[in-house]
Chain A
Amino acid sequence: MEQLSRASLDNIAQLAAIELNDQEAAYFEQQITKMLVYVNEVTTLVIDKEYPPVVNYNVFREDIAAPYNRQEILAAAPKTEDNYIVVPSIITDK
């Protein structure tokens, strides 16, 4: 594992939807590289036996709507209008 490149970091920051300035990017390049070096022991481990993951099973309940308070939930949103949550537009004309 080499130093994480700035381009790779920018790619994962984009996937993570977190803006990073240059100073933050330099900090996280260092930190994340150290972590990836540490976990290399797992990526390089040769596994000669496989065991099944934990067994899951479905659990069902009746699909009944529970009461909720619309105004309380709306009150948590940063911006609302009538009974809608308002967010900035996805597409701009620029």
Chain B
Amino acid sequence: MKSYASLSSLIDGLSAGEFSPQELIQFYAARIKKYNATLNAVIEQFDESTVAVNQNGSWHGIPCASKDNICHEGRLTTAASNILKGYKATYSATALQRLQQAGVTVLGRANMDEFAMGSSGEFSAYGPTRNPWDLTRTPGGSSAGSAAVVAAGLVPFALGSETGGSVRQPAAFCNLVGMYPTYGRVSRYGILAFSSSNDQICPITRTVKDNALVMNLIAGRDGYDSSMIQTLTPDFTATLTGKIPSGLRIGVIKESYSDSVDPEVKAAFERAIKQLEAMGATVQTIDLDYLRYGISVYFIMSYAEAASNLSRYDGSLYGISNRDKETLLDMYIKTRHDGFGNEVKRRILIGNYVLSAGHKDAYYHKATRVRSLIRHEFEEAFKSVDVLVSPTTPTLPFKIGQFADDPIALYLGDYFTVPNCMIGTPAISLPCGMSQSGLPIGFQILGPRLSEPLLYQVAYAFEQSTEYHTKTPQGYE
């Protein structure tokens, strides 16, 4: 069995009887056992014989990992936070349930930044995840474990979640494909909420086709999430022709050429643009005036939502509880003091500040108005181009600990991934090169609402004309 077989080839191999479901699952379970200690990508590996799965599903035998903020019935689900230590989910997230229904075996829960707050995986109560391409570097975050475990070939795909780049950025750092779908494509039922108006469960895979296949399983209406799109879900593999649509108009986000983008990232990105031009696309630069406010608006809105969403963790219903003093309020403030890490505390505190009397208009309400401006500007841009492109991240994968004392510098890495999350439009990140030192580089394709079929089409055509996605890190043979 090949260590880096694509998901689609494994599905074909199963249906052709080349290997049995049990052989496949045991092969990957053994790989996790062998390599996870170095990576710390999986917090808990499940005994494969105890995992619930539909043995009649067409994907029976396919393993995956799932981020620790996605509820999995009967299993520990902690969002990598001490405050949820010992919490076992009493139901499964819709996305995970649909995978199980199709026959997928969840082999473990993947490490992450606590409550999905972070972009390096370092803010986990379980310690940092390491990037298989360079163990001194971060795999990105917050879906750090989901990306690392796929990059090392320990599972063919994983579920992550994204609020402002938490799937696309780790995909770029690990030479993988990550798709943030249109808000409302995938049910949020069963994801531990961080910022409900942005959160989405997303597939992380090694190829574009694999990504579309997983999206086919998890997308679509769910009665338990009333914020979902009510239109029918297409077959996301239907547009994978290997060709881009004729006359495709591509807009390059102007800041892609900024000095704050790493020269090697910029060079790889420019080669990708040339490649797309050679395939027949026309390219122009698009200047979005309000894009620069994206990070600030994201801070304000997502922290405000987090302050509200995380108020439920107070020591009464689940997780840890500090009852050293005798009143209810003491239990709340001490449990939350003990249970949350500094990054989560920082965001909850700021969220309360921007929502508090005297500040709400200046911060929260103002941010909602700027969010609408950003949405309008993107809608206008999509009248003159079909898709927008940019590097996924301005930097190469950085060293673990590099931004320990400078959270703002860390947050600026989300410059290109935050804006579309806030307006709920889809974007896909895929490999477009390697640095001289052998670190992966990704770029992203953004489209208007419901444009996933187009994004998959363009991404697939690009991928098939290049070799980047075939490269794998050394040491995981």
Q: Which A residues fall within an 8 A CB radius of B?
A: 8-9, 11-13, 15-20, 24, 27-28, 31-32, 34-36, 38-39, 41-43, 45, 47, 49-54, 56, 58-61, 68-69, 72-73, 75-79, 85, 87-90, 92
Contacts and interface: CB of A to CB of B under 8 A. Distances in A.
Interface stretch (B106-114, B208-216, B310-318, B386-394): B310-318
A16 B363 contact: no
Interface stretch (B29-37, B250-258, B340-348): B340-348
Contact of B349 (A16, A53, A90, A92): A16
Interface in B302-350: 307, 311, 314-321, 323, 325-334, 336-337, 340, 342, 345-346, 348-350
In the A-B complex, the 8 residue pairs with the smallest Cβ-Cβ separation, listed nearest first, are A78-B321, A19-B333, A19-B337, A59-B226, A51-B372, A76-B318, A39-B296, A51-B376
B376 A19 contact: no
23 contacts: A9-B349, A12-B352, A16-B348, A16-B351, A18-B336, A36-B353, A42-B293, A43-B366, A49-B373, A50-B372, A51-B372, A53-B372, A59-B228, A59-B230, A61-B226, A77-B316, A77-B317, A77-B318, A79-B321, A85-B316, A88-B330, A88-B331, A92-B326
Nearest to A75: B88
A12 B473 CA distance: 46
B407 interface: yes
Contact of B327 (A8, A20, A77, A92): A92
A20 B337 contact: yes
| Binding site secondary structure of chain B | helix
Interface of B: 87-88, 90-91, 223, 226-228, 230, 292-293, 295-297, 299-300, 307, 311, 314-321, 323, 325-334, 336-337, 340, 342, 345-346, 348-353, 356, 362-363, 366-373, 375-376, 407-408, 423-424
A45 B350 CA distance: 20
B88 to A, nearest CB: 7
A41 B296 contact: yes
Contact of B326 (A60, A85, A89): A89
Given A76-B90, A92-B326, A18 B372 contact: no
A21 B371 CA distance: 36
Given A60-B226, A85-B317, 9 more contacts: A12-B353, A17-B311, A20-B337, A36-B350, A54-B375, A72-B90, A73-B90, A77-B316, A88-B330
Contacts of A32: 346, 349-350, 353
Nearest to B351: A16
A88 B326 contact: yes
A61 B223 contact: yes
Contacts of B366: 42-43, 45, 47
B334 A19 contact: yes
A3 to B, nearest CB: 14
Residue of B223, B368, B424 with highest tally of chain A CB at under 10 A: B223
A50 B337 contact: no
B358 to A, nearest CB: 10
